[in-house]
Chain A
Amino acid sequence: MKLPQSLFLAVMLLFAVGPLYSLVKISLSPPAEVMTAHPTLVPRHLTGQHWKGVLAGGQLTRPLLKSLIVATGVAVLSLALSAPAAYSLAHVSPRWRYGLLLGLFLCRMLPEVSIALPIAVVFLRLGLMDTHLSLILSHLALVLPVTVWILTTTFSTIPYDVEEAAALDGCNAWQTLLRVVLPLALPGIAVGSLLAWLFSWEEFVLSTYLTLSEKTMPLQVYYYLYQGNWFVTAVTATVMTLPVIVISAFLQRYLRETNLSGAVR
């Protein structure tokens, strides 16, 4: 590799990793190395005081629990709604399929603030603010186009011959679906539900509109950021990022260009 190229790659690698490094570094640094005119780039001392403070204080328990419940609810319900739809889409004529998929893509184009506002107005009247239900219902609306898109690609790759063969062997429609199609589609289903989970885990716009006091993790991070406490923010943000890194590492193996357009933000 030539020198300019190596240099460019080095700078880009630094650019990619640097901000995350600073996040973790600050969560472990004594204030004297951070809140100064010349912060250290490589920490001289490490301290667990911020982690201890946040974890012992227990302020993260409720947001963590709320985010976990909501994200899991969204992942499960998104599968329940999008798997049958995707299976149907994979079996209709291409004209219908592309028309409907294009419609789903258009849904992804709509600004979140347009969707959030009336939902917030109605949910406020119904007394649904701060509930898990309100977040699950609204997150679903944003995530469904993506999961349907992924699952349709998955189901389309399963040849119809397989289903016919199962039918010939005496499976009825349900048995074919449960014993033949679903196992083959399992990787796609896993990817779809994990993406739905991630999407809800980090969703910010709708959650802000639908939350008064019971914050989710992203809102908690924003709350600390707004207060200006760098260390608590760093700890909370790191806690929030950990499951994301684990799941992304798993997903990267499945990231293929076909899914990219709708799958990743």
Chain B
Amino acid sequence: MNRRLWLGLAPLLLYLAVFTLVPVVSTLWLSVNQPGIGFSLDAYRKITSHYQFVDAVGNTCMVTALGLALELCLGLALAVTLNGRRRAQGWMRVLLLLPLGVPTIVAASAMRYVFGTVGYVNEILYRLGLLTLPINWTGSRGLAVFTVAVADAWKVTPLVMLILLAGLQTLPREVYEAARMDGANGRQQFFHVTLPLLRPSITMALIVRGIDAFRIFALPLALAGHNLPVLSTYAYVEYLEYGNPHTAAASSTILLLLILLAVGTYLRLAGTSEVVR
């Protein structure tokens, strides 16, 4: 590599080193250093015995799992429905993609109106005769997890749809002709042709979305606040409300490890070759 090319790269690498790498390492360092004591795992001991932290780990995993499942199912269904329909794609695509651009905090506000006790979901269910008393959608832990996952799905299902739609459009038509010749019906074609061939796109969607899902922050904070701590908001509360950078660092580090673990496990199961293309 010649010198001029390195010169172009150097400012970027330096910047990322100072503002990304150093912070992540110092978070790790903060988490294992107590003032006046030096190296100590006190911060980890403290948070793991804190029920809010234990809840946060569970909530993070549940929101991620439920959110990803929703996004993947809806995104896949949308992609398959829209695939090959040029005319329908035009205006529907514009409307379906609308939530993707909406800022997360705006999405959270809108969802507060939709899922509020006097919100629109309750009202619609009431008018359909399915409900007599309003539901408090963030009242219990299970419902709050569901609400946050739906809110997340609202915003990013379009992205999953786009990735899968792009994948669908690369599938060769001959395979479907062959499957039809062999007498496969629509459902068989979907499960035995489309799904296996679409695996690289699904892997990509899962990884891109999975990483973001673990880091979810604004939605649970704005929708459920202290009722639904997740790892990010737990770290935030520890630092900004209780002024303890060490426990905040410890939970941030655990979040980082969780992401690495999830991505690593998934890549091992799905095969690395599909992602690094």
A interface residue numbers (CB < 8 A to B):
1, 5, 8-9, 12-13, 15-20, 22-23, 26, 34-39, 41, 81-82, 84-85, 87-89, 91-93, 96, 98, 100, 102, 104, 107-121, 137-138, 140-141, 144-145, 148, 173, 198, 201-202, 204-205, 208-209, 218, 221-222, 225-226, 230, 233-234, 237, 240-241, 244-245, 247-248, 251-252, 255, 257, 260-261, 264-265
Within 8 A of A (CB), among B1-58: 1, 4-9, 11-13, 15-16, 19-20, 22-24, 26-27, 30
Which chain A residue lies CB-closest to B12? A85
Which residues from chain B contact A120 at a C-beta distance below 8 Å? 239
Contacts A20-B110, A22-B110, A141-B16; A12 near B78 (Cβ below 8 A): yes
Contacts A37-B118, A88-B5, A225-B222; A237 near B19 (Cβ below 8 A): no
Our pick among A18, A22, A92, A260 for the contact of B163 (Cβ within 8 Å) is A260
Q: Are A38 and B92 in contact (CB under 8 A)?
A: no
* In the complex, B68 has a CB within 8 A of chain A: no
Interface centre among B102, B106, B111, B113 (most CB of A within 10 A): B106
Q: Are A16 and B154 in contact (CB under 8 A)?
A: yes
Q: Are B23 and A118 in contact (CB under 8 A)?
A: yes
Q: How far is the CA of A248 from the CA of B109 in the complex (A)?
A: 20
Q: Are A112 and B211 in contact (CB under 8 A)?
A: no
* In the complex, B74 has a CB within 8 A of chain A: yes
Within 8 A of A (CB), among B176-213: 204, 208, 211-212
Q: Are A113 and B6 in contact (CB under 8 A)?
A: no
Within 8 A of A (CB), among B227-258: 231-232, 235-236, 239-240, 245, 248-249, 251-253, 255-256
Q: How far is the CA of A168 from the CA of B128 in the complex (A)?
A: 74
Q: How far is the CA of A41 from the CA of B113 in the complex (A)?
A: 12
Q: Which 4 A-B pairs have the closest CB atoms?
A: A257-B166, A248-B101, A202-B103, A88-B8
Which chain A residue lies CB-closest to B97? A252
Within 8 A of A (CB), among B129-176: 134, 154, 156, 158-159, 162-163, 166
Determine the main DSSP class of A at the interface with B: helix
Q: How far is the CA of A156 from the CA of B99 in the complex (A)?
A: 31
Q: Are B103 and A111 in contact (CB under 8 A)?
A: no
Q: Are B105 and A38 in contact (CB under 8 A)?
A: no
* In the complex, B224 has a CB within 8 A of chain A: no
Contacts A20-B110, A38-B126, A257-B162; A81 near B9 (Cβ below 8 A): no
Query: 13 A–B contact pairs at CB < 8 A?
Result: A13-B95, A19-B99, A85-B11, A85-B13, A113-B235, A117-B30, A120-B239, A137-B19, A198-B101, A204-B105, A205-B232, A233-B109, A244-B101
Which residues from chain A contact B19 at a C-beta distance below 8 Å? 115, 119, 137-138, 140-141
Q: Are A209 and B24 in contact (CB under 8 A)?
A: no
Q: Are B24 and A110 in contact (CB under 8 A)?
A: yes
Q: Are A114 and B1 in contact (CB under 8 A)?
A: no
* Min C-beta distance of A25 to chain B, whole Å: 9
Which chain B residue lies CB-closest to A239? B106
Q: Are A234 and B208 in contact (CB under 8 A)?
A: no
Contacts A82-B12, A89-B9; A241 near B159 (Cβ below 8 A): no
A41-B123, A111-B255, A222-B221 given; name 7 further pairs at CB < 8 Å. Answer: A19-B99, A23-B106, A35-B118, A84-B8, A85-B9, A113-B235, A116-B23
* In the complex, B77 has a CB within 8 A of chain A: yes
B interface residue numbers (CB < 8 A to A):
1, 4-9, 11-13, 15-16, 19-20, 22-24, 26-27, 30, 74, 77-78, 81, 85, 88, 92, 94-114, 118-120, 123-124, 126, 134, 154, 156, 158-159, 162-163, 166, 204, 208, 211-212, 214-215, 217-218, 221-222, 231-232, 235-236, 239-240, 245, 248-249, 251-253, 255-256, 259-260, 263, 276
Q: Are A39 and B20 in contact (CB under 8 A)?
A: no
* Min C-beta distance of A57 to chain B, whole Å: 19
Which residues from chain B contact A34 at a C-beta distance below 8 Å? 118
Q: Are A121 and B253 in contact (CB under 8 A)?
A: no
Q: Are A144 and B113 in contact (CB under 8 A)?
A: no
Interface centre among A104, A108, A110, A248 (most CB of B within 10 A): A110
Our pick among A17, A20, A117, A261 for the contact of B249 (Cβ within 8 Å) is A117
Which residues from chain B contact A230 at a C-beta distance below 8 Å? 112-113
Q: How far is the CA of A248 from the CA of B88 in the complex (A)?
A: 20
Contacts A19-B111, A23-B109, A111-B259; A36 near B118 (Cβ below 8 A): yes
* Min C-beta distance of A217 to chain B, whole Å: 8
Contacts A19-B99, A39-B120, A85-B12; A117 near B23 (Cβ below 8 A): yes
Which chain A residue lies CB-closest to B74? A12
Q: How far is the CA of A258 from the CA of B235 in the complex (A)?
A: 34
Which chain B residue lies CB-closest to A147? B12
Which residues from chain A contact B96 at a C-beta distance below 8 Å? 12-13, 16
Q: How far is the CA of A263 from the CA of B128 in the complex (A)?
A: 40
Our pick among B1, B74, B92, B251 for the contact of A93 (Cβ within 8 Å) is B1
Our pick among B104, B126, B252 for the contact of A117 (Cβ within 8 Å) is B252
